[in-house]
Structure 1
């Protein structure tokens, strides 16, 4: 018996054990095979002594007799790794681990006592993680699975990378870790002795250089990402503006400026004047983008300084008034 069929027979057995009763069509859909294949698999299980019983008729289905349970639930190495992405099925699929994750979860459920298995199913029915934002899905990154493999096996690679201006450059990288941020995959990799961050969707091609590397001593991906993110935010919002915010304007700051705006509010506190407005120093982008950033607040924000930014906002509002008067 080949390995693929053996794995599928175990999956059929575990599905019946976990769910109690399933039709041949349901099993076929779950395992992405034909109904005829399920018939053959069930016959093979019966021949091996597994007590599979078939209810006849239009509503017939398969089930295990007498509370039969198997303990053949050991996880493979890949399945154990995939469980780290158990709450992120779309991410697992992007990394090429979707089928492996499903098999690992099936084995894990089969190993649970009945009551814990019921509670786990109830939890899955009530909570779901959806990573991408509303206005964009997960970045399309054709070489993501190859990058993930290089990360896992510490393989040095050469990539053709598209920079923000569209130009391409070749880089030899030691891939250290992958981060999924708001639907976008980022690679932390060592290049020329320093660790840098690359957007995986901008990697046009990847070549394994046939060599392994030693990870930097003490490198922690989560800590690196936290530090890099804070630096990225500072570069994204290099300037500040002193503004007055209405109560609604304060509520809009985290919506429009994310964690950077929320941090500014925390640093400022919640003191308000007699009109309920509060003065806050907000991080803003450089040049023209800052104007659009602040105009989003409408009448819920007043720019106090710098004077040049206040003047530009005032002029923009005057132009708008002219358009709508």
Structure 2
């Protein structure tokens, strides 16, 4: 990629001070003409680079040129390094190379390990990082994948999908793609995917407008207004999962939460995940639904040894 080659050229010149176009062309396996085009690009971007002819000539930077002072401010350097560090989750070797070179150029080697991105839940043995790498490569190479999938009802099915995009939402990764089994676009929660296999079958990218956007995907989803009372023991989740504007603190240190949640089987499981720390105040039918579910659960433990 040209952008990586341009970074490499500047890095070499800062280190070696002078090099010929032929040497650069050999190093990058491109033509000398391409190298001179790169020099023009760098010059147009404000990099003080020049070429001289004759004995001892070559391509060089001005002697007093320092990249970190001439081009980017301290904050801009940090933002670039921080962004690249976050992108290392993609396991793209080019990202690691650029990160190492820029941290060296900016003299900030001590700042490249400021963050670690791990896609697996706490206490989980499931290798979601490995899954992410496989899916990323399949998307970039446009290869069809096959996997086993568990839906929200716990039903297992085999899927064959043209992967299009990975997205992170509400603490989980999702894969968007065209399901060849269903002949339609579908969204799959990565944690429910297993046995992911990349096939040797390639696909042609479909028109962008054929891929449903998140807003369109959620359009059919019914959302309802829910009021919850959460005890002080559940405070740690209140501000993790709800907007501050939706939360009211009560005199007894409990919290009343007024929010919108999707009406689905997930809603019951979500509310029950708070255990005894939550009470549904409204709507009434959700309150009754939780009550019925609790009675069903209690019934399983009665009169059993």
TM-score by length of 1: 0.46
Q: Which has the higher strand share?
A: 2
Please report the TM-score for the alignment, with normalisation by the length of structure 2: 0.48
Point out the structure with the larger helix share.
1
